[in-house]
Structures are given as structure tokens and as C-alpha cells.
Amino acid sequence: MLNDNNGTPYSRIFIFYFDTSFSWDQRNIYLQWLNTEGPISLHNDLCGKVVVLDFFTYCCINCLHLLPDLHALESQYSDKDGLIIVGIHSAKFPNEKVLDNIRSAVLRYNIVHPVVNDADATLWHELEVSCWPTLVILGPRGNMLFSLVGEGHREKLFLFTSITLKFYKERGQIKDNNIGIKLYRDSLPPSPLLFPGKVTVDNSGERLVIADTGHHRILVTRKNGQILHTIGGPNSGRRDGRFSEAAFNSPQGIAIKNNVIYVADTENHLIRKIDLELEVVTTVAGIGIQGVDKEGGAKGEEQPISSPWDVAFGNSRTQEDDVLWIAMAGTHQVWALMLEDGKLPKGSDLKKGVCLRFAGSGNEENRNNAYPHKAGFAQPSGLSLASEEPWNCLFVADSESSTVRTISLKDGAVKHLVGGERDPLNLFAFGDVDGAGINAKLQHPLGVTWDKKRKLLYVADSYNHKIKVVDPKMKNCATLAGTGEASNVIGSSFTQSTFNEPGGLCVEENGRLMYVADTNNHQIKVLDFETKILSMLPILNPEECDVTDNLHVQKDKIRNLPKLPKSAPNVQLPSLTVTPGQTIQFLLKLTLPSDSKLNDEAPNSWFITAEDNTWLLQGQCLSGEIKEISCQTIIPFQLPKSCLSAEAILAIKVCLYYCSKGSGACMMKGISFSQPLQIASTNQGSLTQVELIHSF
């Protein structure tokens, strides 16, 4: 099921033939381009080319299903052969109109052809496009030839393209000139994570599992970020076997129990199983190509599935955790994989290994119903289970309807919780509004997680760049963290911190910490519910840590932190009395000379060292950026719960690069603040603030 730019549902396929000319050149000055050296002119650059225009919006699963077809087409025909593919990004959500967000999507989905930001849907309306995705094929004079609406037309696309190229080549109308391509991905620096989609924590709270989606791998880390296992990556593929051999393609959802991890291997259309003891990856559902079956019922490895986006352990009516629930985004449904023999609500007995639809008709809509097969979802992308009474349900982040829904595990009834509106066909009821039930508004939420301790649900409200909290009893939804701005502010309070399209989240069993996959910032963020401070999880390779008595101490020689100038002053701070586990919040206030300004292009940063007391850092690499000199930077630090000494010294070091406004001369300056600590046994409070003030 497709939707037009006004929300009207479509399910038909159209092929239109035209012999009229189209040109965007008169408005090209207003269009923003990606993956090119500059704006592309239809009259000059694309004259003599067969052009495939892909009208898409990056939230749309149907649009994502077209990308493999386009990749294959541009692999077979290049601009030398006379073919050019141009992505026309016509946004559904306001967040998708922002060029930086489209740029991230272009990298995330490995789009290597030119893309233009049709933010105001100008080209959409001029070509009378009605729904996503739509392909329009232009001839070498800019003449419109035909249009394909929807997904699943690979054979027609290749047939029409080859015939068109042959037709115009025989008439000498095809040119073999190159188009100036400049890929955004080629300018990116290396990063420990690339577009992490989901994160989860095991019951002990000691191990995290991260879907490092852009690197096509799964990471298992300690809670300090030290990598225990790297499974798959860095390139996409489809392969079972040992960890060093296994390959994934843009994995998203993950669920861990004991030493077994299940993975939604999204672009492979598979469910994979990782055995941490045997260090082996196997396939348990899917056949490796996109399925169109909306019923299921076959053995997992024989059952085609479509773009699984999240997974969660659950229970049937007979035992606990004998079902793996799957958010099947590609068919707008929730499926079940039987891990043991059992029975689903309103279902018959099922054998181990069977994979089938549990809820959702397959129509893309926001329809609630007491009968799960008659309900309708719109690209479900996040799942979380609340097994306790009175909830006993699955929470579903239904991204395209911008709602959170529930599925009863007693009878399968699908109900509304927050967001959206009452019309089941209106998938444009989105926004950023705190409130209750239908009065609350979300924008394309991708993740949910249940907090057993507080009986609350947390939502990754992805396109609002926020984390929201829902009280399911009162159906009240409120902002917990994030300002609504796509940015990357860490080391501050929840409400001052920022995210960029967070895609997944989880809460540890004891309720102290929440981990968030901050997708477009390529980070895992950590929210501490006791201190109300947000920090970043460092990702540490095994060789970066020594293991001594279970204490993971980072080696100074490979710390990769900036070095202070020899002339950097050292400010001695008064001794501070603290207790194990206490949080210190350092408030950094710096002043530059009056005729100077911060060099925004340089790596202005702070970092914490403890040369003689490395146990204080617990193996972490504590550092952060300094983006604004006009306001204070908040630097959080938490003492270990088990301290090895009654006295210790921390050093908070700062490196700044600034330039004179008059002469233009630039310089690097540094400062070190030494903070002596007296570690007492009596309680000193949960949070202490220390001001770090210096004028350069």
C-alpha cells in the first residue's frame, strides 16, 4: 500500500507514456543537490541522456525497497552508456526537508547517484506525481516517456531502460559525457560507529549489544564500551558461519537472552541467530530476498519475509520467551517466530521454527481492531514487551502513522496508546506535542522500551530528535530528553542535551541507565536517571584496555587524546570530599581575549585523565567537544562504586584553537585543572558541582 503526498492510499500500478518535454533548469538555482559537484542542468548536463527520476522520501519502506533495483541498474548502465539516475527527494515529514538529514539518509542507504532536495514538492507537483515511490523516465530531450508507480517493477524497469537506450542510440541521440559526481561518503572521517540503529542490554546489565547498522555488524560490549565481540562488517553481505566470516546487510533490531542474540537483518530480509558461546551465526527465518507473503506459516528458513526492523522476546500462553516477535516493516505487520512449540493468542498449536503473521492485515494504515488480523499498521519499527499485569502486551512504535500502539498478548487486540488520529487512513497526523492519547503528537518514532521498575514506556521520537516518556495507565506522553533540535550536545541535563534521529533505546534491568542509539550522531548516548545527566558511551577496542582483576584500564600510549602545549598552566583546585558512586559535574567557563574568536574548524575539546589513579576512569576515554565559548560546558564524571584508594587526583584538560579577528593569526592554547579527591564513606549527596574558570 502506498500513500500520496496528501495521505491518500494507493495500491495500483500505472504506466504512462508521454512525448512532452520537462525542464527544471528555470528553478535549478533554488534546488539543493547532493552527490554532485554542483547543480545539474537538464538542458546541458542531461541532454543526450536517458534519465530515471526516482521520487522518494527516506522514511518510506517502499522507497527503500526500490534502491537495490536502482543499484543494479546503475551497475549495468553508466553515464557513459547514456543512463543517469537522479533521486528527487520530496519529503513527507518536515524533518525530511532538511538537507543535512537527507545527506545522512543518502549515506545510510548507500545512494551513489545525484539527489536533489525537492523540499517544497515543486517537481513532484509539476510532474503530477501522486505517491511514493514513483519512477519517471525521461528521454534525451527531457521528454517524458513513462512512469512506474510503486515497488516490485524491476523487470519492467530494466526492460524499458534497455529498449529506450537502444532506440535512441540507433538514432545517434545518446551522448557519453560524464556527470560530475562527488559522493558525500568519501569525505567522512572514520568513526567507531556508523548510523547505529538499535541497542539492547542483557539482564545482568553488564553487556550491551549494538546494531552498528552502517558498518553492517553487531557489537557486543561491556557497559564501559569495551568491545567483547565484533560480528560481521565492515561491508554488507549475506553469510552464516564463524564471527570472522559472518556478514549482515544493515542490521537493525536485536534481542539478547543469556548467550543468544537474535538480529533483524533488515536489508537481507532475514532473522539471524548469534550464539556467543559457539561464536557462530545462523539464519532462522527468511530466504534472503524480499518476500510478499502476508500470511506466513512455513518453517523459518523457508519462509520469505520483508524488511524486519525490530525483534523482541516474548511468551505464548504456555511458556516464557518461547516466541520472537518481529516488527515486519516491509509488510506493515507484526510476525512471530516460534522458538519452541506453543500457541499464540487466538491461534492453534504451532511447532518450533514456524514463522507467521500475528497482527496486521498488510494494508498500510492506522487501524485498531479487537481481531489482530484485521488491524492495520504503517511500517512498525520498534517493539518492547511488558509481560506483567495489567499490561501483558507488546508496545509497537508504528513509524509512518506516528503512533505508539499496543497488542494484547491475551487476545491479540490492537489498541491505540498515543499519537496519530482517529481516521485510520490519515498517516499525516504528526507533530511534536506533549499530551494524552490522541492529543499527543509524535513524528516517525522508531523505538520503544519498557521500564519495568517505573512502569513507564520510553519512545525514540526519531524525527523530533527527542526521547519521550509515556505513562500507559494515563496515556500521557511527555518529553524526557532532547530539545527538538538535531544536534549533538552531551554532558548536560536531559532537557539541554540533543539527539539526531535516535532510532533505538533500552533500559537496564535495575532502571538506573538508559542507552540510546543516536543514529545520525553515530553514537550511543547514556542517560543516568539518578544524576539526570546524559553522556556518550566510548567504543573501545579490546587492545585499548588491559584487564587486571576485572578492572579495565585504558593504556595511556594509545589514548589518542590531544596533548597540551608545554606552556599550558595547571590550576590547582581545592580538595573535594566525595563518596563512591557519586557524580561530579564540572562547569567549564572559559574566556578568550576580546579580539579573538573560536576556530570552529579545529578540534576544540576537553578530556579527563588520572595518570596515577587510572582505576578512576574504569577503562573509559572521557572527552568531548567544545562548540561554544560564550556559554559554560558541562562535564560529568561519576566515581566508581568501588574505590581503590581514599585519595586520588583527576585532571580536567582543555585544548582550544582560536584566531585574532584583526590579524587573523591562529593559536592553540591549553589548560589543566587538577582536582584532588578525598573519598569518604559517609554520604555527601548524589551530585556535586565544581566551577572551572579561566581567562586566556
Do strands 403-408 and 393-398 pair parallel, antiparallel, or not at all (unpaired)? Answer: antiparallel
Q: How many CB atoms lie within 10 A of CB 53?
A: 23
Query: Tell me: the pLDDT tens digits for 109-148?
Result: 999 999 999 999 999 998 889 999 999 999 999 889 999 9
* Mean local confidence (pLDDT), 71-98: 95
Residue 89: the pLDDT is 97
Q: Tell which residue, 359, 630, 631, 612, has the closest CA to residue 491.
A: 631
Global pTM value:
0.79
Query: Tell me: the pLDDT tens digits for 464-491?
Result: 999 999 999 999 999 999 999 999 988 7
Residue 510: the pLDDT is 92
Contact 430, 3 (CB under 8 A): no
Rounded CA-CA distance 60/48 in Å is 32
Residue 665: the pLDDT is 64
Residue 561: the pLDDT is 58
How does DSSP assign 208-234, residue by residue? EEEEEGGGTEEEEEETTSBEEEEEE-S
- SS3 at position 506: strand
Q: Give the bridge partners for 325, in sequence order.
A: 312, 336
* Mean local confidence (pLDDT), 378-395: 95
Start-to-end CA span in the chain (Å): 61
Rounded CA-CA distance 219/66 in Å is 29
Q: CATH says 189-543 is which class?
A: mainly beta
pLDDT at 13 over 50: no
Query: Which has more confidence, 679 or 62?
Result: 62
Q: How many residues does the chain have?
A: 696
Q: Tell which residue, 614, 638, 613, 634, has the closest CA to residue 625.
A: 634
- Give start and end residues of each alpha helix (H) in 558-672: none
The answer to whether the Cα torsion of 223, 455, 253, 202 is positive or negative is positive
User: Can you say whether residue 387 is alpha, beta or left, with left for phi > 0 and alpha for psi between -120 and 50 degrees?
Assistant: alpha
- SS3 at position 87: strand
CATH number of 2-186: 3.40.30.10
* Mean local confidence (pLDDT), 512-521: 96
Q: Which helix (H) or strand (E) holds 105?
A: helix 99-108
pLDDT at 19 over 60: no
Contact 409, 383 (CB under 8 A): no
Q: Which residues of 472-484 are buried (b: 16+ CB within 10 A; e: fewer)?
A: beebbbebbbbbe
Phi, psi of 300 (to 5 degrees): -45, -50
Contact 462, 449 (CB under 8 A): no
Q: Where are the domains of the chain?
A: 2-186, 189-543, 570-695
Query: Tell me: the pLDDT tens digits for 305-341?
Result: 999 999 999 986 656 789 999 999 999 999 999 999 9
Residue type present at position 217: R
* DSSP character at residue 466: E
Q: Which residues of 534-547 are buried (b: 16+ CB within 10 A; e: fewer)?
A: bbbbbbbeeebbee
Distant-in-sequence, close-in-space partners of 139: CB < 8 Å, separation ≥ 6: 50, 145, 164, 168
Query: Tell me: the pLDDT tens digits for 245-291?
Result: 999 999 999 999 999 999 999 999 999 999 999 999 999 999 999 99
Rounded CA-CA distance 682/648 in Å is 17
- SS3 at position 616: helix
Do strands 308-314 and 260-265 pair parallel, antiparallel, or not at all (unpaired)? Answer: unpaired
pLDDT at 562 over 70: no
Q: Tell which residue, 492, 482, 491, has the closest CA to residue 518.
A: 482
Phi, psi of 106 (to 5 degrees): -60, -40
Rounded CA-CA distance 92/4 in Å is 9
Residues 24, 25, 28, CA angle at the centre, nearest 5°?
Answer: 85
* DSSP character at residue 482: -
Query: Tell me: the pLDDT tens digits for 528-544?
Result: 998 888 988 888 776 44
Residue 558: the pLDDT is 31
* Mean local confidence (pLDDT), 646-667: 79
Angle between helices 61-76 and 154-170 (to 10 degrees): 40
- SS3 at position 267: helix
